[in-house]
Structure 1
């Protein structure tokens, strides 16, 4: 078989070097009928991942005869010929034979001496009946969930998963597949929503798959699975089961993250293996960070003490004090990183003036407290507690040294918020001083957030909810690059916006720049995703209303745009996708901005609508139980389920979309569209609401 060579010479060798003692290329020389053998080990170019997989497949199956022409056939029958290397030049084989044909090509020649004694790893086809016993017995099982109608599943199975299974040979890794169309019980139990999808199992316990997602090569999957196999101490689940009796004792520890869940909650089921994996990683911290779970309704005595607005609800406790978890829930690494931020001191001691200067001279918001020598003052205690409330937004430091405060030009018992140095324009000082700070952590946090924004700050996906939720807000979107390569261009546009913003300091408008790649949905929402200029400018106003600047950015055009808004002369942008064609039998009807009122305010039917933004994890979780609810009520007369993506469609002015997802209901005989209150936690809450509204 002729296989052309390309990149990635060592993908085979890295995957399983012990398989082969000889493998290489055989090249033709027009002036010499004898081929020259070039060992694979000395080549600078090599096989593509698929070619490497094919080569190892031959090795593992102990192929004795390869159809590479008479010479390669002879080698396959009689063994690897003797050869010597002189520098980088390969000598001729002693008994080369003749090459079949006179083609100018590169032939892969496989000369195999098997050092491994194992056989070929079989990809098991699992069913509902065989699944549990198989994963219960496996030290490590990688299960590929697929569907017969999915073309990506077929290509991934044939090009990556099966060759990886072959490379793994008889290693202690079980490779298996399961057809979700045929095995509905397993699909339901493990909440498999997408295909192809891989899950890992150790002695029956499911673990999240965090390996390569794209078809980047067989070797990547093989190496990832070997790393997973070699991990130690993963059999036991370190998540603590919290009950009415032990909850208070355990949550008074240094730091613990608690999940409130129900058994029937689909997002809870998906979070379970991720939560357990995060617990395993965090228990290795010094000191360990613990994770626990509270099952609802079994532990209702505990649950009644907390505002359980949705499941799963994550709350963490620091020495008994409760804090809302605002980090990611989709990966174990995201939970781990967030909880690591919550560990350690909330404020860093700064002993010298040089320590303070080093602390504030960074690309982060820094808060420094200058205090008297009393190390146990109420203000200092509340300052430290305020640091716990803003760990993900800014960093705090403090000093008791009077000389340090004087060296920084500050009085004792003063708190100063320092803006990131690269965002300070020529028209501002770069810091805000709180000269009489309140002795209350929550009030301090509020003051930090009010003063944390420079004249023109940078809005990110991590700070837009807290620092840039204010309206009106003007944002300039462009390619932000603070590295040495892009610093000048990035700073140029920032300072241009700042030059206009300084004229509107008392207007109430907040100004920011943002990386356009991080907010493509927002740009689509105002019709600027294909804007041809370097910078796209949008103004968000209460209502919610949106205004798109349609002129090329300059100081004059920006100043005119802002003034026109303040004078009420701008026309708001209304976003709407094209009206979709009706889909017969659809569980949920998609509505858009232009037909929202006619579809949702339908006086002939009861209509439920979910307003969502698919990029938000909470919206993706709600979409799952909303679909489950629609399926439960499918066929009920005069009841319609609808949904609208508010990233691409604007609801009517006055509709509150500050907290998503949002559920609204319009009863028959009325054009009123009112929010569902209290906010439903899951499909059971929505079902209870609908049964009361629809059947009453």
Structure 2
């Protein structure tokens, strides 16, 4: 009955609000943002622009997720903001790229760290809306819960206090932490001398931290997020979960001489605690090849330092190019903090044989030079070697390239998507074809049948230079 009451109340508020709905998604703007949060305190917001191609591709999944969540009891709504016109909200949330997602929990803002499919969006939001603080009033139960979890936050205070409300907000915002509240005198006598008290238990660094500060939800979230992370961690499954599963940026040294770097690297970890997770990948003793491949480290003839930024649902990689020592690593981190580093992008070397069956072999480091040539219409196939999709496409693609090889202003190219990463374009589908005519270098994706006839009609439609005098009829 209570759920039905809240569902009815929310629907009534929406009916009398100024919030529009597009395919199940609330349309938020500079004027109705506060009203939206009055109706639903916890809200996922997508910042998009109408010109963003990935935003367009993602839109159907977001709408499906919105409709699924709206069936919840009480209903859960998601929203979107057109960043091209709602400048105040863009400034308020410091939005710099699109799409960007922010999750609001009782007016506190956290980054969305889920996926882009309908089921992942739904699962991520429900995992937070269903979180709760464990209420335990027997000290033996508390001790057992602390023992069973790696990290535990314990609040000792009355259940209806403002501190308890802030603690619940922190619980919804933070991953990988066990939240417990105790209101009985026995807990107070065992763990503290005053209330309210917040204690953080963990098996590394300071094993027990007694929080000192105000009990706003923002302060609690900042404190727990900063102190839940170890200052240094050996590379293992725990490190993978903390960095990739919880969107914490990390910095790694890949080396076969751990002892040479560990002392000063651990000290830097303490200095940047809560900002970066420090880890050494020991190539002599750990199964390091998978993570090395992820960072494009093919062989370890000398140590390598890499930084992975997983914030805002990204996986941006940076590589230290100078000598590895404490001073240079610290400068490297400071440049990253200030946005002064270029993202490292994997690239094959430019091949000696530039053409294969009339198709130009393109790699990451020469992609812009080829595609951005304003005197050429450029067709690029983004492929995965040995995949069935590429086997089905390659014959048709090479056949058409041969038929049109007489056209000097038309280039057929291909790039291995598994070995090259690009800044200018984000390709979401595998074995796809994009066209970059001389008058539109943003790129147009081909969505037709993967055959020569279909690709030819597509090229004719968008080409800047006229397609004439085919060698043979296709």
Following the alignment from structure 1 to structure 2, what is the Cα–Cα distance between the partners of residues 465 and 588? 36
Aligned to 2:128: 342
Matched, 1:590 2:379: no
Alignment of 1:258-269 (within 5 A): 258-269=45-56
**Aligned pair partner of 2:224 in 448, 451, 456:** 448
Aligned to 2:56, what secondary structure does the other structure show? Answer: helix
Q: Indicate conservation of the 8 Å contact 1:418/1:431, yes or no.
A: yes
Following the alignment from structure 1 to structure 2, what is the Cα–Cα distance between the partners of residues 515 and 398? 40
**Aligned pair partner of 2:243 in 440, 446, 463:** 463
Aligned to 1:436: 212
Matched, 1:316 2:103: yes
Aligned to 1:460, what secondary structure does the other structure show? Answer: helix
Q: Deviations over 1:167-216 (max 9, x none)?
A: xxxxxxxxxxxxxxxxxxxxxxxxxxxxxxxxxxxxxxxxxxxxxxxxxx
Aligned to 1:674: none
The offset of 1:266, in angstroms, is: 1.5
In the alignment, structure 2 segments of 5+ residues that lack a partner are: 1-21, 271-277, 309-317, 329-344, 371-416, 444-474
Alignment of 1:646-665 (within 5 A): none
Q: Indicate conservation of the 8 Å contact 2:110/2:173, yes or no.
A: no
Q: Higher relative contact order by CA 8 Å / sep ≥ 6: 1 or 2?
A: 2
Aligned to 1:310, what secondary structure does the other structure show? Answer: coil
**Aligned pair partner of 1:631 in 413, 436, 441:** 436
TM-score (norm 2): 0.52
Aligned to 2:384: none
The offset of 1:290, in angstroms, is: 0.9
Following the alignment from structure 2 to structure 1, what is the Cα–Cα distance between the partners of residues 80 and 269? 44
Following the alignment from structure 2 to structure 1, what is the Cα–Cα distance between the partners of residues 65 and 59? 10
Alignment of 1:98-497 (within 5 A): 237-242=23-28, 246-252=32-38, 253-295=40-82, 297=84, 306-319=93-106, 321=107, 323-344=109-130, 347-371=133-157, 373=158, 375-377=160-162, 379-390=163-174, 392-408=175-191, 412-419=195-202, 424=203, 431-454=207-230, 456=233, 458-460=238-240, 463-464=243-244, 469=249, 471=251, 473-474=252-253
| Residues 1:404 and 1:580: Cα distance change in structure 2 (over 3 Å) | farther
Aligned to 2:148, what secondary structure does the other structure show? Answer: coil
Following the alignment from structure 1 to structure 2, what is the Cα–Cα distance between the partners of residues 281 and 459? 33
| Residues 1:386 and 1:429: Cα distance change in structure 2 (over 3 Å) | same
The offset of 1:587, in angstroms, is: 10
The offset of 1:336, in angstroms, is: 1.0
Following the alignment from structure 1 to structure 2, what is the Cα–Cα distance between the partners of residues 310 and 628? 24
The offset of 1:459, in angstroms, is: 1.5
| Residues 1:622 and 1:462: Cα distance change in structure 2 (over 3 Å) | farther
| Residues 1:380 and 1:622: Cα distance change in structure 2 (over 3 Å) | farther
Following the alignment from structure 2 to structure 1, what is the Cα–Cα distance between the partners of residues 307 and 95? 32
The offset of 1:634, in angstroms, is: 5.8
Which structure shows the higher helix fraction? 2
The offset of 1:630, in angstroms, is: 8.5
The offset of 1:331, in angstroms, is: 1.0
Q: Deviations over 1:265-308 (max 9, x none)?
A: 32122111111221232223332211233446566676675544
Q: Deviations over 1:545-576 (max 9, x none)?
A: 2899xxxxxxxxxxxxxxx95699xxxxx997
Aligned to 2:349: 578
Following the alignment from structure 2 to structure 1, what is the Cα–Cα distance between the partners of residues 54 and 113? 16
Aligned to 1:459, what secondary structure does the other structure show? Answer: helix
Aligned to 1:463, what secondary structure does the other structure show? Answer: helix
Q: Indicate conservation of the 8 Å contact 2:43/2:105, yes or no.
A: yes
Aligned to 2:24, what secondary structure does the other structure show? Answer: coil
The offset of 1:343, in angstroms, is: 0.8
The offset of 1:312, in angstroms, is: 2.7
| Residues 1:331 and 1:590: Cα distance change in structure 2 (over 3 Å) | same
Following the alignment from structure 2 to structure 1, what is the Cα–Cα distance between the partners of residues 264 and 32? 59
Q: Indicate conservation of the 8 Å contact 1:258/1:315, yes or no.
A: yes
Q: Indicate conservation of the 8 Å contact 1:413/1:435, yes or no.
A: no
Q: Indicate conservation of the 8 Å contact 1:526/1:575, yes or no.
A: no
| Residues 1:467 and 1:411: Cα distance change in structure 2 (over 3 Å) | farther
Matched length:
331
| Residues 1:270 and 1:503: Cα distance change in structure 2 (over 3 Å) | closer
The offset of 1:245, in angstroms, is: 5.9
